[in-house]
Amino acid sequence: MTEQPDSTNRKTAASLQSITLSFGGVSVLNDVSMDIREGELLALIGPNGAGKTSLINCISGFYHPQQGDVIFQGETVNRLNPVQRFKLGISRTFQNIELFSGLTVLDNLMAARNNMMSYGVISAGLWFGKARREEIEHREILEDIIDLLELESIRQSVVGALPYGLRKRVDLGRALASLPKLLLLDEPMAGMNTEEKEDMARFILDIKELWKTTMVIIEHDMSVVMDISERVSVLDFGIKIAEGPPEDIKNDSNVIAAYLGIEEQEAK
């Protein structure tokens, strides 16, 4: 297993305080609190239906909890919508790929820069001055991402025609294109074969090491979680039942009963 650095002394990038979410009479999250530290890779695990994606949705603004606070860089962002949180530096991938399937890889990446563009219609039409300078700056950022995620050979390919594993990589690239301070990864390796998972794990670690990006990842493959994460937080039926270093979580009796034990029984 890859040895991960201790993140205990790092500043808090985001904090969830007593998050409670329900739909009708169904409780999804119950008094969930956790801190996400700057530059760390925090894994969020739990059985299907544990509330993992719902918690990600609360951070990104897709859901608004009935109780509790979402704090990002010291500011409470409860009232901000997803676009406003995106502009602050919160970006995400989706469990189900949400790309523009009729556009090229480059166009999909460029779409993530749209909200960062400040030039007007006239300047854009004339392709002069501020519009030209900004476009060059945006393209330079995308070129770094294309190199990092090894997308050069497919940059002009239509996304809808790409294999599933490459589309997941483009989805990661689009989330990264905004240069997020907090990157939320919702099952980025779901549906991948072993080789594709290894590639994705390598890209995620490169993002962490080279870009120093704070990340939260939802992942069901426990071998991946134990290998790349610094801390693991475990949900079960909307309640946080454990949190700590991967090795501690792996041996936690509550986690084994709620999650790891289920996988082991199914494997027999």
User: Terminus-to-terminus CA distance in the chain, angstroms?
Assistant: 24
Q: Are 10 and 38 in contact (CB under 8 A)?
A: yes
What pLDDT is attached to residue 1? 44
Report if residue 30 sits inside a domain: yes
Question: What domain range includes position 199?
Answer: 10-89+180-268
Give the pLDDT of residue 263: 45
pLDDT reported for residue 118 = 57
Task: Give the Cα separation of 160 and 170 in Å (integer).
Answer: 11
Spatial distance between the Cα atoms of 210 and 135, rounded to a whole number of angstroms? 24
Q: Who has greater pLDDT, 149 or 114?
A: 149
Higher pLDDT: 217 or 254? It is 217
For residue 111, the model assigns a pLDDT of 87
Domain stops at, among 177, 206, 224:
177
Query: How many folded domains does the chain comprise?
Result: 2
Residue 128 lies in a domain: yes
pLDDT in tens, 60-105: 999 999 999 999 999 999 999 999 999 999 999 998 888 999 999 9
pTM of the entire predicted model: 0.86
Asked whether residue 202 is assigned to any structural domain, the reply reads yes
Exposed/middle/buried for residue 193 (C-beta within 10 Å: 0-12, 13-18, 19+): exposed
Q: State whether 117 and 248 are in the same domain.
A: no
In this prediction, residue 220 carries a pLDDT of: 87
Same domain, 136 and 262: no
Residue with tokens 């530290």: 37
Q: With CA atoms as reference, report the closest residue to 236 among 257, 208, 214, 212.
A: 257
For the record, the structure tokens of 257 come out as: 């009963």
What is the pLDDT of the chain when averaged over all its residues? 88
Q: Are residues 172 and 185 in the same domain?
A: no
147 three-state secondary structure: helix
Same domain, 225 and 111: no
Q: Which two tokens stand for residue 41?
A: 């890779």
Q: What pLDDT sits at residue 134?
A: 74
In this prediction, residues 144-164 reach a mean pLDDT of 96
Q: What is the CATH number of the domain that holds 226?
A: 3.40.50.300
Rounded to an integer, the average pLDDT of 202-210 is: 96
- Residue 86: count of CB within 10 angstroms of its CB: 20
Q: Could you tell me if residue 42 is inside a domain?
A: yes
Q: Among the three residues 121, 148, 177, which one is the final residue of a domain in this structure?
A: 177
